[in-house]
Amino acid sequence: MGIYEVTQGEFENVMGVNSSYHTKVEGQGTRSFPADNVNFVDAKAFCQKLSDSDAKKQNGRKYRLPTEVEWEYACRAGSSRAFSHGPGISSRDANFNGWHPYAGGDRSPYLERTTTVGSYKANEFGLYDMHGNVYEWVSDWFGDKYCAASHPEDPEGPKEGKYRVLRGGSWQNVDSMPRAAERYYRPRRRQARGPRITSGDRDVRSSAGRAGAPERTEKKRVEAEDLDGRLHTKKTPVKNTP
């Protein structure tokens, strides 16, 4: 799983274009800001082009968008709470509309834009910006009851559909939208937010089960990587929760 959201600089290096809205911020270089205004089709194309490029370098990695349950497992990082770091949130914890904090969080500044990836504390898996900054595309079609209809250990999304799923909330969202459990969807060609990528076969397995499922604790492995291919592996007990 990518340690950071894909940046504007990385997206432009691979795709040859930067279509992000937030390209000019006084006093700051935005190439390290997350790529935004990226639709699902272009996010998939980015993964394919990056994979093709690495193949030419005999790297052998295949990049893709994470599944929805992979994303939530990585976001929760062993926590059963609304956010990986606790039950509440303010904009000192993540980039979102801090004028409307969640669950008793302090009212805090609102940047009104994206910001440099990795500006906030990482979760227990070493992943940054899983809450806020930009929504992140996942590979699944949207299904409003797919967790209840799938295997509770590792539920799969529908085989087809009308909408694709985004997770994590964004810089402009209020209170509950950046929660680990929050789901959002849009047409696949609709310009939206940005990608976070993973590589290989399903290297981040999820134990986020359907609502009301019995709580279980298991050992799982998550691999975090940046685009230079450095790997960071942790093993952690994870609870199966709503």
∠ CA(226), CA(81), CA(83), 5° rounding?
45
CB 114 within 8 A of CB 36: yes
Average pLDDT score, the chain: 76
Burial class of residue 117, CB neighbours in 10 A (0-12, 13-18, 19+): buried
pLDDT digit string, tens, across residues 8-63: 999 999 999 999 999 999 999 999 999 999 999 999 999 999 888 866 566 678 88
| Model confidence at 216: pLDDT above 70 | no
Burial class of residue 34, CB neighbours in 10 A (0-12, 13-18, 19+): buried
| Model confidence at 227: pLDDT above 60 | no
In the chain, domain spans:
1-78+132-168+177-242
pLDDT digit string, tens, across residues 37-49: 999 999 999 999 9
Q: Phi and psi of 46, rounded to 5°?
A: -60, -45
Look at the domain 1-78+132-168+177-242 and name its fold. Answer: paralog of FGE (formylglycine-generating enzyme) (3.90.1580)
**What's the pLDDT at 206?**
21
CB atoms within 10 A of CB 178: 29
